[in-house]
Amino acid sequence: MELAVLNIEGKETGRKVNLNDSIFGIEPNDHAIYLDTKQFMANSRQGTHKSKERGEITGSTRKIKRQKGTGTARFGSIKNPQFRGGGRIFGPRPRFYGFKLNKKVKLLARKSALTYKARTNNIVILEDFSFDAPKTREMARVGGNLNLLNKKSLFVLPEQNKNIYLSSRNLPGVEIITASELNTYTIMKASTLVFLESAVDVLQATIEN
């Protein structure tokens, strides 16, 4: 699959980039995408939720009333979960929500996500560019030239570029990532993938290795 390389003005440069069919043209596996996305979101959870149980509540341990002869249920201390202000029964505790997923499944999921973007013509190849200094206005102009305004766009860079990152962080719907950090969740979340020309080679080398 070949795509034309555009410049920051949104016009074709006359060059083309060949996308590897083993990455951008496979038979997509929806279940692999689901599993990889689920793992990414699970690993992102802090898991720091905590509520106090009856043993952790501050309060008197004095027995409220006698055990028998009252005609009502027996009660121990004021920290009983049935009382207002008492401990919570089976409350949440800190835990890790992540789970293991095989590397081959994650790789299949990433290829499947890239294939979907290629099939729907939501991949743009942009020639390499940079800014001398962070300029949000310049980054917004690039997005406007590529008809990406009011869309969720993901710019894939070959390596970290501080000026591009700082120029885009105040633009809604624009996200910056390097080719080596690309994952299934960010691919599927974006409406359009914008690859810098040299980032394609980095991505394909990363996946093939």
pLDDT band at 209 (very low <50, low <70, confident <90, very high): low
Alpha-helical (H) ranges within the chain are 21-24, 30-44, 103-119, 136-145, 162-168, 184-189, 197-208
pLDDT tens column, 103-138: 999 999 999 999 999 999 999 999 999 999 999 999
Per-residue pLDDT at 208 exceeds 80: no
Q: Give me the pLDDT at residue 110, please.
A: 95
Give the mean pLDDT of 7-28. 91
| Structure-token pair, residue 116 | 């979907």
Q: Give me the pLDDT at residue 30, please.
A: 96
pTM of the model: 0.83
pLDDT tens column, 146-197: 999 888 999 999 999 999 999 999 999 999 999 999 999 999 999 999 999 9
Return the percentage of the chain with pLDDT > 70, whole number: 100
Long-range (24+ apart) CB contacts under 8 A made by 159-167 are 159/202, 161/130, 162/134, 163/130, 163/131, 163/132, 163/133, 163/134, 164/130, 164/131, 164/139, 166/134, 167/131, 167/134, 167/135, 167/136, 167/138, 167/139
Q: Give me the pLDDT at residue 76, please.
A: 86
- The CA–CA distances, whole Å, from 114 to 11, 77, 132, 194 equal 24, 60, 31, 12
- The CA–CA distances, whole Å, from 150 to 29, 120, 165, 173, 194 equal 29, 18, 18, 7, 15
Q: Give me the pLDDT at residue 153, please.
A: 94
Per-residue pLDDT at 10 exceeds 90: no
Give the mean pLDDT of 27-38. 96
- Rounded to the nearest integer, the mean pLDDT of the chain is 92
Q: Give me the pLDDT at residue 104, please.
A: 95
Domains annotated for the chain, with CATH where assigned, are: 2-46+97-208 (3.40.1370.10), 51-91 (no CATH)
